[in-house]
Amino acid sequence: MPRAAADQYVSNIRRPDDIDRFWEDVLAETARIPLDPEVIHDPMRSTDRIDVYEIFFTSLDRVRIAGWYAVPRHHDGPLPGLLQVPGYNMEPPVPKVWAGKGYAALSVAPRGKLRSNRQFNPGYPGLLTYGMVDRNTYSYRGFYMDACRGVDFLLARDEVDGDHIGVTGHSQGGGLTVSTAALRPEIKAAAAGAPYLCGYLDSIELTDAYPYQEIADYLRLYPERREQVENTLAYFDGINLAPSITCPIIVSVGLQDSTCPPETGFAMFNAIGSTDKRMYAYDGHGHDANNHEHGAVVDAFMAQHLQA
């Protein structure tokens, strides 16, 4: 039977009645932990136009999180802030490109990434299934908070305009863009590329590619835990978090993406609460989601909402 059009897909994901309360509690627990930021100038990575800093802050469970922070060396008045969140297997880049476009840019390395793995390091593969039988032990509980604490870091900086903060990322970064925009109303613009972490259990039926197949492998080994896994993942699924997004948001998918099925991207997009949303679906593209050309769309979108 031919596969239905991605934009017609209907997800089977169930939204927990208490999902909002769950995340309110997690955010409150995180907020009680002092941020304790550390900012170290990096002259080797800085240029005559951009200052680069290695940064650290404390997140949920008092895990110390690293990142790169870049700002234009010469600027008049407060800068719009931009949070860049990483893919599953990638390390956070030094965000000098965004700083060159006039942003105070933070590229955060959530727990398990290099420089943030001394206290928590489930490995890759491993992160996606770590603690998956309980919403209070699942790895992404802390991972989502690490991205949210990046917003706290930007808000604490004197040079950042706290009323103009955006978030962007691709793949897992796209999923983190969704969760951060949903959980932090301070986000005023979001751009999610080929979003991962949307339709977890849909995806293991739609693709046999990894990382999602880590879940399928786990369930083959522990079939008796399926109900626990389904209950846990429902709290972290971008489809279930999307109704809380109220800021302007753009989403891109590749219609031939075998890593993050486009069906799940459409399901998440349709669930977004914001009325200011736009989908860019690129035929002939896989997991790259035409990022080479779509990057200009993201640039213009962020400039419109954060620099106007």
State how far the Cα of 255 lies from the Cα of 265, in Å rounded to an integer.
Answer: 10
Higher pLDDT residue, 300 or 112?
A: 300
Tens of pLDDT, residue by residue over 78-119, are 999 999 999 998 889 999 999 999 999 999 999 988 888 898
* Sequence-ordered list of residues with C-beta below 8 angstroms from that of 100, at least 6 positions apart, any chain: 49, 50, 72
Residue 154, pLDDT > 70, answer yes
285 belongs to the catalytic site: no
Cα three-residue angle 16-20-26, rounded to 5 degrees: 110
Q: Picking from 2-16, 154-168, 268-282, which range would have the lowest pLDDT averaged per residue?
A: 2-16
77: left (phi over 0), alpha (psi -120 to 50) or beta: left
Q: What is the pLDDT of residue 41?
A: 98
Tens of pLDDT, residue by residue over 198-249, are 999 999 999 999 999 999 999 999 999 999 999 999 999 999 999 999 999 9
Q: What is the pLDDT of residue 90?
A: 83
- Concatenate the DSSP letters of all residues of 73-95 into one string: SS-SS-EEEEEEE--SSPPPPP-
CB 214 within 8 A of CB 139: no
> Measured on CA atoms in the order 90, 127, 121, 104, is the torsion positive or negative?
positive
Q: What is the pLDDT of residue 308?
A: 77
State how far the Cα of 21 lies from the Cα of 109, in Å rounded to an integer.
Answer: 27
Residue 250, pLDDT > 60, answer yes
Q: Averaged over 260-287, what is the pLDDT?
A: 97
User: Which residue in the list 146, 257, 287, 288 is annotated as catalytic?
Assistant: 257
Structure tokens that stand for 131 in this block: 């603690």
CB 101 within 8 A of CB 82: no
Residue 4, pLDDT > 90, answer no
Range ranked top by mean pLDDT from 74-78, 125-129, 297-301: 297-301
State how far the Cα of 121 lies from the Cα of 32, in Å rounded to an integer.
Answer: 24
Bridge partners of residue 158, in order along the sequence:
none
Q: What is the pLDDT of residue 112?
A: 87
Picking from 161, 198, 157, the residue whose alpha carbon sits closest to that of residue 177 is 198
User: Which residue in the list 171, 203, 244, 252 is annotated as catalytic?
Assistant: 171
Number of residues written out for the chain: 308
Structure tokens that stand for 154 in this block: 């930007």
Percent of the chain with pLDDT over 90: 90
Q: Averaged over 56-73, what is the pLDDT?
A: 97
Picking from 99, 286, 94, the residue whose alpha carbon sits closest to that of residue 193 is 286
Q: What is the pLDDT of residue 2?
A: 59
237 belongs to the catalytic site: no
163 belongs to the catalytic site: no
* 3-state class percentages of the chain: helix first, strand second, coil last, to nearest 5: 40, 20, 40
When the candidates are 3.65.10.10, 3.40.50.1820, 3.40.50.720, 3.40.50.10470, the CATH number that belongs to 6-307 is 3.40.50.1820
Domain ranges of the chain: 6-307
Q: What are the φ/ψ torsions at residue 115 (nearest 5 degrees)?
A: 75, -10
Residue 1, pLDDT > 60, answer no
Per the prediction, the chain carries an average pLDDT of 96
> Measured on CA atoms in the order 259, 19, 178, 71, is the torsion positive or negative?
negative
- In Å, how far from its chain's centre is CA 77? 28
